[in-house]
Amino acid sequence: MNMIEPQPMTAIDRVRLPAQAKDLAARGYRLVQICATDGGETLEVTYSFDCDYSLTNLRVTLLKGDTVLPSITGAYLAAFTYENELQDLFGITVTDLAINYNGNFYKMAIKTPFLRNNPSGAV
Amino acid sequence: MGTRTIIPFGPQHPVLPEPIHLDLVLEDEKVVEALPSVGFVHRGLERLAEVKDFHELVYVAERICGICSFIHGQGYCQGVETLLNVEVPPRAKYLRTIWGELSRIHSHLLWLGLFADAFGFESLFMHCWRVREKVVDIIEATAGGRVIFGSCKVGGARRDIPNDMLKGIKTELAAIEKQYNELKPTFLHDNSVKRRTVGIGTLSKETAYALGAVGPTLRGSGVASDLRTLGYAAYKDLEWEPVVEQGGDCYARTAVRVREVTMSFDIIRQAIDKIPDGPVDVKVTGNPTGEFFSRLEQPRGEVVYYVKGNNTKFLERFRIRTPTFANIAPLVVMLKGCELPDVPVIVLTIDPCISCTER
């Protein structure tokens, strides 16, 4: 059979995100990745953590027009690269970011190219 | 406190074949802070999932990077196969393992050569690349390409390697390994190499883990983490274990890669001995639905492919987290406190692949 690891996904409110991240860090989880998906009316932001080859995910859903997220760099400093990427590619504003490039992490000709309703970012 | 100056390192630098930039804050010759910049050539390949159907997208995945191209394709295929609930034939799993380990050997030999070049050991650089060339010859003979394999597809492998050719590869690898074994002592015991690597750019076990380091960067700091342990492809049938060093410095990260090449030779030998006969692909029907994080161990470390399907031939989201992206934060910490001449050596020890990072 194919090797399929369980990958639990927990939907949480953004205000609980920093505390949840601190809890996972205290339990020995490392940050694996953060990514966003444009769902049309919403943006899904998924945080993945690993401990002993076991992946667990937190998901925050943001309404377009209210795309502000608290940073988890207080728990995982390494999150600064992912969170700057969220700002540059999806236009999400991340507050309390430990190292903030203010939209200059990637040098791009167009702003927020991964938003689907961005006409200049069409593929 | 000495005089503080800011030295720009990159994006064009003799040790960097691809553009990454560091602002180095120095006190005299000592680095007190390093601020990285990437994104000079970001390609936005992930969005091509919206216009390339999921069968075609494997060609895009393979072209993310010219060094770990096969494993990019493999990781993408494994993710989509999970969404489609496709069981890949056993022979295809072994073929993927063999090509994946050939990739690891040629990637590590390429890096070892570049690393030797970074500290001025030109002849060692040439010897590494001479040996690597023979590995690339095997890749060309089996896949048809030297950089892009084009051998992985959703549902298995695009081509087979005949059993008699596999036996020939085993013989050829024995000769290559013999030549490689002549190089190993230079990296591990030569005084001039050790003076540039031992105690340089040290990353503790706890810091490496907390900062999300992956691959030889993490294992060089004493953490036995290798995604092949998950048992994808044929790894669950083969005997191997993660290569770990305890030093956390440039020497330890180099030693991990030196020893991993030897382990890859062994894994390929085992795979050739155990590969079953049978088909190399299955027919794939339907469209991917659901979401999955496919994780594999590339030469540079853990790579993550997020695939999300919506029951159409186009993926809703295709996202790649490359090992170099994960190793940027650990690199910043490694550089703090080092001497300016050691910066190129330390940067190289994460084996930065900007082509992957600028996917």
Tens digits of per-residue pLDDT, A68-119? 999 999 999 999 999 999 999 999 999 999 989 888 888 888 888 888 876 5
Cα separation of B34 and B31, whole Å? Answer: 7
Alpha helices in chain A, H assignment, sequence order: 17-26, 79-90
Residue B21 lies in a domain: no
DSSP string, A5-30: ----EEE--GGGHHHHHHHHHHTT-E
* Amino acid letter, B329: A
Q: From CA A13, how far away is CA B67, in angstroms rounded?
A: 40
Q: What is the pLDDT of residue B51?
A: 81
State CA B20 to chain mean position distance: 18
Domain-located, residue B11: no
Q: What value does the mean pLDDT take over residues B312-334?
A: 92
Chain A: residue whose CA lies nearest to B87: A2
Domain boundaries, chain A: 9-104
At A1 the pLDDT is 43
Kindly determine whether residue B87 and residue A1, on different chains, have CB atoms separated by under 8 Å: yes
Domain count, chain B: 1
| Spatial distance between the Cα atoms of B74 and B303, rounded to a whole number of angstroms | 11
CATH code of the domain occupying A9-104? 3.30.460.80
Shortest CA distance from A54: residue in chain B: B230
CB contact under 8 A, A78 and B212: yes
- Does the pLDDT at position A3 exceed 70? no
Using the Cβ of A78 and the Cβ atoms of chain B, whether some distance falls under 8 Å is answered with yes
Q: What is the CATH number of the domain that holds B318?
A: 1.10.645.10
Give A120's pLDDT tier (boundaries 50, 70, 90).
Answer: low
**Whether A51 contacts chain B with CB within 8 A:** no
Pair of tokens at residue B14: 């003799």
Weakest mean pLDDT among A116-120, B320-324, B350-354: A116-120
Can the peptide bond before residue B8 be classed as cis, meaning omega within 30 degrees of 0? no
Give the distance from residue A15's alpha carbon to the nearest chain B alpha carbon, in angstroms: 23
Is this prediction's ipTM beyond 0.95?
no
Check if A110 contacts B (Cβ < 8 Å): no
Across the interface, whether the CB atoms of B39 and A108 are under 8 A apart is answered yes
Q: Pick B39's closest partner by Cβ from A57, A80, A106.
A: A106
Laid out side by side, the sheet with B30-37 consists of: B4-9, B21-27, B30-37
Tokens of B358: 């600028």
Most A CBs within 10 A among B42, B214, B219, B307, hence the mutation to make, goes to B42
Q: Are A123 and A116 in contact (CB under 8 A)?
A: no
Does a structural domain hold residue B213?
A: yes
Contact at CB, B210 and A76, closer than 8 angstroms: yes
> pLDDT over 70 for what percent of chain B?
100
DSSP string, B270-311: HHHHHPPPS-SB----S--EEEEEEEEEETTEEEEEEEEEES
Contacts of B191 (CB under 8 A, 6+ apart): none
Chain A nearest C-alpha distance from B14 (Å): 22
Q: Residue B208 belongs to what domain range?
A: 41-330
Question: From the candidates B81, B296, B319, which should be mutated to test the interface with A, based on the most A CB atoms within 10 A?
Answer: B319
Contact A107, B35 (CB under 8 A): no
In a domain, B300, yes or no: yes
